[in-house]
């Protein structure tokens, strides 16, 4: 009963969005300011980066959603507003601007920034951009998704419809990813809207549980950002009986939320900086969940595995090596490894030893855009999936010259 629909963050009833170019970025073709507003106050839950260096917007947002409610999200790209002396002040001014132009109290505004660290963010272009941003609010999820992009090559939005309490509910999201992606809490920036009625407590619980199996299993480059923010707002306009306890409705909500976050993880990994391939590592047969998680993430994070995937090289020894230093107690002599894609499947390792395979066939399998690395630890029944991408010349190029 889960159906993908159009509309991104504006698919759920009661949400409008927009994105404009206000001038934080020099390139006038590139939108750099986004706004999402709800017709009514929303139950709101967030998770943030675990990095000790936290962007100033996170400090302000944390205060604003302390009461479990928010009504708007303002986001700029082009500047992270992090490690600046006046960062908190600027983030508060952004929220005040939302209040001035929409009458939504500043204390109900979620604020986020993404871009370069350590350069002062001027509020002037943001103030100048507000009239257009607000007057254009509507069914414009795509404009908002565009405005939060940095080196993303495609905008990320998605929405699903599901049923809870006999009512059709909707959930939608926009996100940005690319570099500094190794969330321990959330990815760079993701904003989810839903019209399902759900209590604050169940909303936070659903979000906190979900990230363990979604965004925390995503890694583009192992660098946990200073500004990661994942925010979900629920305005309750679907008319379902409020989800206030575990049960069938809560499970339906969690399934829909997970569909959103996993779809986003795949999009974020596939569009990792410089990436040409989405890599999905599926580990099964683990004794504990922690072992499954550590092993899947260790493979996804290995530069040597990532570079081999870029070269479509079935160098499975690097997968074994990454499993060996994952920090989990595993029996390395029991490990099986397969490479899989839409072009087929190749068994490359059985019981920790190489098996003979056709290099030609392996090359064909690994030349696809989506690669599965399948690991069976033969040690138990837990499994985990992690998402990442290959390591390419382009990653080095983008990151060797990001600020210029």
Which part of the chain contacts a copy of itself (CB under 8 A), choosing from 50-58, 101-109, 161-169, 281-289?
A: 50-58
318 forms part of the interface with a copy of itself (CB under 8 A): yes
60 forms part of the interface with a copy of itself (CB under 8 A): no
Subset of residues 153 to 212 that bind a copy of itself, contact rule: CB under 8 A: 179-180, 184
Please count the other Cβ atoms lying within 10 Å of the Cβ belonging to residue 315. Answer: 17
Are 387 and 301 in contact by the 8 Å Cβ rule? The answer is no
Catalytic residue chosen out of the listed positions 61, 150, 187, 193 = 187
Instruction: State how beta strands 156-164 and 3-5 pair.
Output: antiparallel
Is 187 known to be catalytic? yes
Using CA atoms of 343, 345, 348, 352 in order, give the dihedral in degrees to the nearest 10. Answer: 140
Residue among 109 and 319 whose Cβ is closer to a copy of itself: 319
Subset of residues 69 to 88 that bind a copy of itself, contact rule: CB under 8 A: 80, 82-85
89 forms part of the interface with a copy of itself (CB under 8 A): no
Q: Using CB under 8 A, count the residues that bind a copy of itself.
A: 61
Task: Give the C-alpha separation, 244 to 250, whole Å.
Answer: 8
Task: Give the C-alpha separation, 110 to 69, whole Å.
Answer: 10
289 forms part of the interface with a copy of itself (CB under 8 A): no
223 forms part of the interface with a copy of itself (CB under 8 A): yes
374 forms part of the interface with a copy of itself (CB under 8 A): no
* Shortest spacing between CB 53 and a copy of itself, in angstroms: 3
Residue among 8 and 285 whose Cβ is closer to a copy of itself: 285
Residue with tokens 């855009």: 369
User: Can you say whether residue 115 is alpha, beta or left, with left for phi > 0 and alpha for psi between -120 and 50 degrees?
Assistant: left
* Shortest spacing between CB 147 and a copy of itself, in angstroms: 22
Residue 372, beta-bridge partner list: 280, 340
349 forms part of the interface with a copy of itself (CB under 8 A): yes
Residue with tokens 């001027």: 122
Residues 6+ apart with CB under 8 A from 129: 20, 21, 22, 23, 33
Residues 6+ apart with CB under 8 A from 344: 361, 364, 365
116 forms part of the interface with a copy of itself (CB under 8 A): yes
Q: How far is CA 52 from the centre of its chain?
A: 19
401 forms part of the interface with a copy of itself (CB under 8 A): yes
221 forms part of the interface with a copy of itself (CB under 8 A): yes
* Shortest spacing between CB 237 and a copy of itself, in angstroms: 38
* Shortest spacing between CB 248 and a copy of itself, in angstroms: 39
**Catalytically annotated residues:** 187
């Amino acid at each position: 009963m889960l159906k993908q629909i159009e509309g991104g963050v504006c698919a759920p009833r009661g949400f409008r969005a927009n994105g404009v170019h206000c001038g934080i970025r020099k390139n006038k073709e590139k939108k750099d300011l986004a706004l999402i507003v709800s017709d009514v106050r929303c139950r709101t839950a967030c998770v943030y980066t675990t990095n000790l260096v936290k962007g100033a917007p996170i400090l302000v947002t944390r205060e604003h959603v302390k009461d479990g409610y928010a009504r708007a999200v303002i986001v700029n790209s082009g500047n992270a507003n992090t490690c600046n002396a006046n960062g908190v002040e600027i983030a508060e001014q952004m929220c005040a601007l939302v209040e001035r132009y929409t009458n939504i109290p500043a204390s109900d505004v979620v604020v986020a920034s993404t871009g370069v660290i350590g350069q002062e963010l001027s509020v002037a272009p943001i103030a100048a951009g507000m009239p257009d941003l607000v007057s254009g609010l509507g069914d414009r999820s795509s404009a908002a998704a565009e405005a939060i992009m940095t080196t993303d090559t495609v905008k990320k939005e998605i929405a699903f419809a599901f049923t809870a309490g006999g009512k059709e509910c909707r959930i939608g999201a926009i996100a940005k990813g690319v570099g500094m992606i190794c969330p321990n809490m959330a990815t760079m920036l993701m904003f989810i809207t839903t019209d399902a009625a759900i209590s604050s407590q169940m909303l936070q619980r659903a979000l906190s549980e979900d990230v363990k199996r979604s965004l925390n299993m995503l890694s583009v480059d192992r660098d946990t950002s200073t500004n990661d923010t994942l925010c979900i707002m629920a305005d309750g306009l679907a008319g379902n009986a409020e989800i206030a306890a575990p049960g069938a409705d809560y499970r339906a909500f969690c399934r829909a939320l997970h569909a959103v976050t996993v779809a986003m993880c795949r999009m974020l990994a596939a569009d990792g900086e410089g990436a040409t391939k989405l890599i999905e590592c599926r580990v099964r047969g683990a004794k504990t969940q922690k072992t499954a998680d550590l092993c899947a993430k260790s493979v996804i994070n290995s530069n040597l595995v990532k570079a081999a995937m870029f070269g479509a090289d079935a160098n499975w020894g690097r997968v074994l090596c990454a499993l060996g230093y994952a920090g989990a107690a595993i029996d390395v002599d029991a490990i099986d490894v397969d490479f899989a894609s839409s072009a087929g499947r190749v068994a490359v390792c059985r019981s920790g030893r190489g098996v003979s395979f056709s290099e030609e066939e392996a090359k064909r399998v690994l030349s696809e855009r989506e690669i599965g690395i399948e690991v069976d630890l033969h040690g138990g029944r837990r499994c985990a999936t992690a998402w990442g991408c290959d390591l390419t010349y382009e990653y080095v190029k983008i990151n060797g010259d990001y600020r210029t």
